[in-house]
Structure 1
Amino acid sequence: MNEQTPATIRRPRSDDRPLWDVYWGAYGYFAVHIAHGVGVFTLLANGPQTLDEVCQALGLKRRAAEAVLAVCVSHGLLAFNTSRYALTTVAEDYLLPTSPTYFGSQFDWNLAHPEIITLDRIQRAVLTDQPQAFPGGKPIFSTLEEEMAMAKQFTHAMHSSSMGPATAWPEKIDLSGHHVLLDVGGGSGAHAIGALWQWPHLRGSVLDRLPVCEVAQEYATKYRLTDRLGTHAADMWKEPYPAADLHFYGMIFHDWPAEQCRFLARKSFESLPTGGRIIVHEMLFNHDRTGPFGVAAFNMVMLTYLDGEQYSGREIAGFFSEAGFTDIEVKPTFGYWSIVAGRKP
């Protein structure tokens, strides 16, 4: 009788946690959205709570509540000590509506449009290289032009994710020599607000479509900046820019293909006075466009929503250089965020 030789089985060189993190990740990240939606964070703003107290206050069964709370603790949004759940500083800064850097409206957008974040739509975006977030493969801005209520909701969502970094980048660059900031496609004006807070001599204007400008005016009032921050309703592609010596583009370049980014850089160069500056604020790829993961994942969002993509600092600096800007610099500012700045000679 012939004996079989066992097949060679090699032990993996690393454990399988990275694969499980990917496989289960969507469930975990959705759980944070759900925790926000049912009011976990606003409840715990009143003080630490036991599991039973959370269940009673939110009308949740014990197993479900504990599952959601465990995800929030493991992700650093909640702390657990002596049988009570409490907010961490991350949750206090970003997940309470009373915080000026409240992130929750970004979660609200996803909760209001769950049909967008599906494996099927993302897969279709990859296979077709076309936006798939909205019916007919229309990019988001085409949809927002038709749906004014959605446009305002989207603007609030963008404000929510912008205020944190908007408090940081103005500390990283000297704006003392500038007088008027034009926040191009500025949405809520979050970045103009951050710059005007940091540099009290500055005045600013948010350039965007009329319904969006109405939202920006609301935020200017909220932050008591109406005497220094105005709006300018216009199409950035078709209409001239108003006078300013500082142009800011926050999460604008990544919405568009490279040639349109070059157009915006040239338009700013032609509009700015000598010594004027352009600043682009984005999550930047590394030079090889291979990471970090957060930026690579954001690039998948661009694939699903729009015709644009995340760029590297080198690529945006190239757009600036081609347009004629000099003194170009790339500066990390806050988390994944960076600015790319250039000056008109």
Structure 2
Amino acid sequence: MVTETISNEVVVTPTRIMQTGFAFWSSKVLLSAVNLQLFTLLAQGSKTAEAIKSELKLQERGLTDFLDALVAMNFLHREGNGASAKYCNTLESDAFLDKNKSCYLGGMLEMANNRLYPFWNNLEEALQTGQPQNEVKNGNKPIFETLYEDENKLKEFVAAMGGIQTPNFIAFARQFNFADYDTHCDIGGAGADLSIQIAKHHPSMHSISWDLPQVAPIATRNIEQHEVQDRIAVQSGSFFTDEFPKADVITMGNILHDWNLEQKKMLIQKAYNALPKGGAFVVIENVIDDERKENAFGLLMSLNMLIETRGGFDYTAADFISWTKEAGFAHVDIMHLAGPASALIAYK
């Protein structure tokens, strides 16, 4: 590999450039494995390449390269060599990529493979035009209108969002001090996943999961499955046309970043109006660090909003503090959750 010595102590190589430039290779291998339900199959037990080929209806050519690439990427283990070698899940892939487990995160990866992967091919055009590159580009309806009109797509989307947010929702439910509060409302509550975690960790809290009417059956089923229907109510409304339900704590999980600045400020103001004095407004997002140098995932998520929406973008804590101060909030706390996500908590 070409190297250039800058001084006696610093050597510059193109290794990271090449790894990043070809990262789509490894990404597509993982996404394809999820879409093929390989990890769900191997959750049943280790299997040979021949058995995998038969059960997933694959071709022999490329199969061992595919499986061994997943071994090299530490998503599979391989026992032995050659035709008798057996493949099995790693602890990580078994925990989070088996579709039959409640902590399955593959829903978001399925959506990344089926929707986002081709759209991101047009990032240059998005940067040049400032316009979304998803279904809207071809004259179709915006993503949320499309999703809410198709029951199967809506179920897939809600499951994907709930799966990827579960670690953050659990962390928030454990860390936030609910001692001074009795009621909670999750705006854009989708499958009620955040309300469910709060109910599980704080039996005295009563929650409302609030979203459009099409989501209500999904939320109701999830709530009943977790047996917390005595503490969570499902209510319907639109945060563009309706006022928010009154509550001591109002939350939004990956909601605020979907909208432009004017809409963000409108949602923040509605939250302020619905809270009592001392109430808390919480957003859970991949908050970009104030220097915009460290949270690469938050910045990439903001680019995803460029691809997916007409005006959405992710933001820093400093941005949020400015907007909430303008709305009348007194101060903001920052709580780190899981991975690149944080909770920003504005107090009235």
Tell me the TM-score normalised to structure 1 length.
Answer: 0.89
Name 1:28's counterpart in structure 2.
26
Code of the aligned partner of 1:249? M
**Is the Cα–Cα contact under 8 Å of residues 28 and 113 in structure 2 kept in the other structure?**
no
**Is the Cα–Cα contact under 8 Å of residues 284 and 344 in structure 2 kept in the other structure?**
yes
Distance 1:72 1:117, change over 3 A: farther
Establish whether residue 85 from structure 1 lines up as the match of residue 83 from structure 2. Answer: no
Name 1:188's counterpart in structure 2.
191
Establish whether residue 289 from structure 1 lines up as the match of residue 287 from structure 2. Answer: no
Q: Partners of 2:69 and 2:274 in 1: how far apart?
A: 49
Distance 1:319 1:17, change over 3 A: same
Q: Secondary structure at the match of 1:249?
A: strand
Distance 1:51 1:308, change over 3 A: same
Q: Secondary structure at the match of 2:20?
A: helix
Name 1:70's counterpart in structure 2.
68
Establish whether residue 334 from structure 1 lines up as the match of residue 338 from structure 2. Answer: yes
Q: Secondary structure at the match of 2:332?
A: strand
Pairing partner for 1:274 from 277, 282, 290: 277
Q: For residues 226-305 of structure 1, what are the structure 2 equivalents within 5 Å?
A: 226-305=229-308
Distance 1:129 1:168, change over 3 A: same
Name 1:45's counterpart in structure 2.
43
Q: Which consecutive residues of structure 2, in runs of 5 or more, have no partner in the other structure? A: none
Q: Partners of 2:292 and 2:47 in 1: how far apart?
A: 44
Distance 1:308 1:57, change over 3 A: same
Q: For residues 166-181 of structure 1, what are the structure 2 equivalents within 5 Å?
A: 166-181=169-184
Establish whether residue 203 from structure 1 lines up as the match of residue 217 from structure 2. Answer: no
Q: Partners of 2:295 and 2:140 in 1: how far apart?
A: 28
Code of the aligned partner of 1:328? V
Name 2:134's counterpart in structure 1.
133
Deviation at 1:280, TM superposition (A): 0.5
Establish whether residue 315 from structure 1 lines up as the match of residue 316 from structure 2. Answer: no
Q: Partners of 1:330 and 1:69 in 2: how far apart?
A: 42
Q: Partners of 1:71 and 1:213 in 2: how far apart?
A: 42
Distance 1:321 1:81, change over 3 A: farther
Name 1:5's counterpart in structure 2.
none
Deviation at 1:111, TM superposition (A): 4.2
Q: For residues 99-118 of structure 1, what are the structure 2 equivalents within 5 Å?
A: 99-113=101-115, 116-118=118-120
Code of the aligned partner of 1:208? D
Deviation at 1:76, TM superposition (A): 3.2
Code of the aligned partner of 2:338? F
Deviation at 1:115, TM superposition (A): 7.3
What CA deviation, in whole Å up to 9, does each residue of 1:160-208 have, x standing for no partner?
2122222112122111221121110111111111121111111111111
Moved more, 83-92 or 332-341: 83-92
**Is the Cα–Cα contact under 8 Å of residues 321 and 331 in structure 2 kept in the other structure?**
no
Name 1:143's counterpart in structure 2.
146
Tell me the TM-score normalised to structure 2 length.
Answer: 0.88
Q: Partners of 1:225 and 1:103 in 2: how far apart?
A: 23
Q: CA RMSD in A?
A: 2.3
Deviation at 1:248, TM superposition (A): 0.3
Deviation at 1:152, TM superposition (A): 3.2
Distance 1:26 1:137, change over 3 A: farther
Moved more, 109-118 or 42-51: 109-118
Code of the aligned partner of 1:30? K
Distance 1:123 1:148, change over 3 A: farther
Establish whether residue 98 from structure 1 lines up as the match of residue 96 from structure 2. Answer: no
Q: Partners of 1:196 and 1:54 in 2: how far apart?
A: 41
**Is the Cα–Cα contact under 8 Å of residues 148 and 214 in structure 2 kept in the other structure?**
no
Deviation at 1:245, TM superposition (A): 0.9
